[in-house]
Amino acid sequence: MGEYENLKRGQKGAWVSIIAYLILAVAKLIIASIGQSEALRADGLNNTTDVIASIAVLIGLKISRKPPDKDHHYGHFRAETIASLVAAFIMMTVGIEVIVGTFGNIVNGHQSEPSLLTGWTAIVASAIMFGVYRYNLSLANKVKSRALYAAAQDNRSDVLVSIGAAVGIFGAQLGVYWLDPLAGLVVGLIICKTAWDIFRESSHTLSDGFDEQEIKDIREQIASHSSVWTVKDVKARLQGNQVLVDATIHVDPGLTIQEAHEITDEVEAILEQEMGIYYAHIHIEPYEKD
């Protein structure tokens, strides 16, 4: 099925993130230690959490590809959302650690002049992560993967984190030494903010929350069928990257059972072709005036 192929394609994005984060995390932590930069160290720790989060996304995508079985009748698509939730917790933990560590350095008056190499490392890293962000965002939109979209948003925050680290480092080079640990503190706050955004979206999905505008779009697509007299009710929820729809429609009460069944098939085909919705249950009722 198309959705399983999409999940397989989505794994490429997770692998791209993992490889990029591994290289950048090692490089940043080593250079930060040599060049004495709190900002670059925080950025490197951020990338370390990103490696773990990307692995969680990759595992979630792999599990999501498993077909339905006797105790997972709708498949395993929600494993992808759970992976995003796990990634959010990991990121939040490290973000708090970075905030506590750098805040302590600011309070204690710890100052050092980081080397220029640390600043240029941050600049190069931001350029690399921008490329990874564009790739994953494009892929997430193509395969409709919530977890990969969350990973792309994390990639974008990493670009900003590295730019912020560079600003702090170059500021310290000009004698404003407190800018480097301050940049590290800002990095920690950005990590926590990104983690919170991913947590909020994942928990909303797991609790069957769904976008109201998308419900309206689904209703309009169903109503576009000429034999649908009214759309009585539409419900939808997310199962991983798949939208599951339950709808009740009113049709001509004079139709035969076979004719009514053909209408449901046609409505389901409209939802699949126009909105990429593969799972729709359409319930038909005879139209009655109130």
CA distance 115 to 157: 24
* Among 71-75, 124-128, 202-206, 262-266, the least confident range: 71-75
Share of the chain above pLDDT 70, in %: 91
20 plus 150 within the same structural domain: yes
- Residues 216, 145 share a domain: no
- This prediction has a pTM of 0.66
198 shares a domain with 220: no
137 and 185 together in one domain: yes
Q: Are 182 and 106 contacting, i.e. CB atoms less than 8 angstroms apart? A: yes
Looking at the structure, do residues 186 and 94 belong to the same domain, yes or no? yes
Asked if residue 224 and residue 163 are part of one domain, the reply reads no
Under DSSP, is residue 239 helix (H, G, I), strand (E, B) or coil? strand
Whether the pLDDT of residue 56 is over 80: the answer is: no
| Residue scoring higher pLDDT (263 or 179) | 263
Tally of domains within the chain: 2
The pairing of beta strand 242-251 with beta strand 279-286? parallel
Residue 1's pLDDT is 46
User: Of the candidates 206, 229, 247, which is a domain's last residue?
Assistant: 206
Tokens of 201: 């979206």
| CATH code, domain carrying 161 | 1.20.1510.10
Judge if 48 and 80 occupy the same domain. yes
Q: Which of 11-15, 131-135, 264-268, 274-278 has the lowest mean pLDDT?
A: 11-15
Alpha-carbon span 225 to 9, nearest angstrom: 33
Please say if the pLDDT value at position 195 is more than 90.
no
Q: Which residue segment(s) compose the domain that 216 sits in?
A: 212-286
Could you tell me if 89 and 188 lie in one domain? yes
Same domain, 258 and 166: no
User: What do you get for the CA distance between the two ends of the chain, in Å?
Assistant: 42
Give per-residue pLDDT as tens, 63-107.
Answer: 777 777 777 767 777 777 787 788 788 778 877 877 887 777 667
Residues 53, 81 within the same domain: yes
